[in-house]
Chains A and B, each alone.
Chain A
Amino acid sequence: MYRWDFAPVLANASLLAEGLLNTLKVTGVALACGLVLGLALALFRLSPRRWLSWPAGLVIEVFRTTPPLVQLFWFFFALPLIAGIEMTPFLAACVTFSIQSAAFFAEVFRAGIVSVERGQWEAALAIGLTRRQTLGRIVLPQAVKRMIPAFLERAIELMKTTTLVATIAYADLLFEASDIAQKTFRPLETFTVAALIYFAVIYVFSLLGRGLERRLAVSGESTVH
């Protein structure tokens, strides 16, 4: 019978904490950039001008269709050679996951904007607002509320996806765990603890998302996915 011993893992708790911090850092940067870029992509995609809508659609489709790990490898190993730039694992992770989440957020934004009734546009234009004012002051505020659960769901997916950075040696929680497992010869305890930490953090966000969705449902607000 195997004897579990968590002491070697606990002795490296500070490394795990550092790893978790790095995980949150990548998630935060990619989330912030992804939201801004996602809104831009959605607006381009909805534009009647083809030279705007077509490239936006292409970016969205490519990044939603190819595996995230392939994207990460491409940005880490191929892009620096093409562009002749220095690439760090952190930068590669931020760029990849920002564009990737932007592609997913764009579809959420689009669904949200499209879900706002035509009458809102017509009324706003009728009282003399420009299209941009209508979008910023009338349509988006209503749409964003409906999109919140989908955003949270996507943010959770993003945090799970950030574990891929461990494969390009960025010191996130999973990378630190692999490192500790190798050093202490305690892979069972280390990976179990890492899994539990991920579960604890992600589960809190899941519950938050579900609570919000219920509240929106109670207030009669429809949500988009």
Chain B
Amino acid sequence: MAAHWDFASVFANTDALLAGLAGTLRLFAICLVLGLGLGLVVGLARYAHNRWLYVPATIFVEFFRNTPVLVQILWFYFALPILLPFEISPLAAASLGISLNSAAFSAEIYRGGIQSIERGQWDGARAIGMRWGQAMRRIILPQALKRMLPALTNRAIEIFKMSTLASAVAYVELLQQGKLIASLNFNPIEAYTAIAVIFFVLLWPLVQFTYLLERRLKRDE
């Protein structure tokens, strides 16, 4: 049986796709900011000598790195509300799961980046009278960030891909809209192909940009 491809039924639902795209971008933006921001805090705690910072940060990182992100999202959506006096929206559950997961992964990127900076940089900063916080902010982090950039853009790509998991809790994003279009128009071939193409077109430039950063970093160091 030869399938008859007809993308008109997908184009007729451009509004639904745009709503899905808006949902995907919103979730992506939230998780990017929260994930990479919280990751820096956790990464610094993992780097600290103080055991009260180091131990909880390590437990957090190990737990969220070693459990599947979909399990985390479903936990926040179905399990957490039992302990809370209010409901958790699909967006909140997906944001929590993906952000905390990304925070755990990016924490290790930050820690690795900070550790890769030579001791002499610290000693130099101390010698001219900088405090720890100043040295970290003005000397260490700017240099470390350059080395971490490819790994961080990779994380951003992963976050974008993970955003599709929000469809499991019926959050309106691209894949969820694809499901909707497929079930209303009986055109799963065209609907899911269109969704795959949209994701590829959106992410391809970001992937190429990461390759470029990696090459440039290799050349510079």
CB distance from B172 to the nearest CB of A (A): 15
Which of B67, B161, B196, B203: most chain A Cβ within 10 A?
B67
Query: Is the beta-carbon distance between A74 and B79 smaller than 8 angstroms?
Result: no
A67 interfacial contact with B, CB 8 Å: yes
Closest residue of chain A to B183 (Cβ to Cβ) is A77
Asked if A66 meets B175 with Cβ closer than 8 Å, knowing A77-B188, A192-B75, the reply is no
Interface membership of chain A positions 197-208, coded 1 if the CB is closer than 8 angstroms to chain B and 0 otherwise: 011001100100
Chain A residues near B167 (CB-CB < 8 A): 69, 167
Chain A residues near B204 (CB-CB < 8 A): 61, 65
Asked if A163 meets B189 with Cβ closer than 8 Å, knowing A73-B175, A199-B63, the reply is no
Closest residue of chain B to A174 (Cβ to Cβ) is B71
Query: Is the beta-carbon distance between B192 and A77 smaller than 8 angstroms?
Result: yes
Query: How many angstroms from the CA of A67 to the CA of B158 in the assembled complex?
Result: 8
The A-B contact count (CB < 8 A) is 118
Query: Is the beta-carbon distance between A66 and B203 smaller than 8 angstroms?
Result: yes
Q: Which of A65-86 contact B (CB under 8 A)?
A: 65-71, 73-74, 77-78, 81-82, 84
Asked if A174 meets B175 with Cβ closer than 8 Å, knowing A62-B200, A78-B192, A81-B189, the reply is no
Asked if A188 meets B83 with Cβ closer than 8 Å, knowing A73-B179, A174-B71, the reply is yes
Query: How many angstroms from the CA of A36 to the CA of B63 in the assembled complex?
Result: 31
CB distance from A8 to the nearest CB of B (A): 13
Query: How many angstroms from the CA of A192 to the CA of B168 in the assembled complex?
Result: 18
Secondary structure class of chain B's binding surface, majority of residues: helix
CB distance from A80 to the nearest CB of B (A): 9
CB distance from B96 to the nearest CB of A (A): 13
Query: Is the beta-carbon distance between B189 and A82 smaller than 8 angstroms?
Result: yes
Q: Which of B46-76 contact A (CB under 8 A)?
A: 62-63, 65-72, 74-75
Asked if A65 meets B199 with Cβ closer than 8 Å, knowing A70-B164, A70-B175, the reply is yes
Query: Is the beta-carbon distance between B203 and A65 smaller than 8 angstroms?
Result: yes
Of B68, B80, B182, B199, the residue contacting A160 (CB under 8 A) is: B68
Closest residue of chain A to B62 (Cβ to Cβ) is A203
Report B's interface with A, CB cutoff 8 A: 1, 3, 62-63, 65-72, 74-75, 78-80, 82-83, 157, 160-165, 167-168, 175, 178-179, 182, 188-189, 191-193, 195-196, 199-200, 203-204, 207
Q: 16 A-B pairs, CB-CB below 8 angstroms?
A: A2-B83, A61-B207, A66-B200, A67-B161, A70-B175, A70-B199, A71-B196, A81-B3, A81-B189, A163-B68, A164-B165, A166-B70, A191-B71, A191-B79, A195-B75, A206-B62
Report A's interface with B, CB cutoff 8 A: 2, 61-62, 64-71, 73-74, 77-78, 81-82, 84, 156, 159-161, 163-164, 166-167, 174, 178, 181, 187-188, 190-192, 194-195, 198-199, 202-203, 206
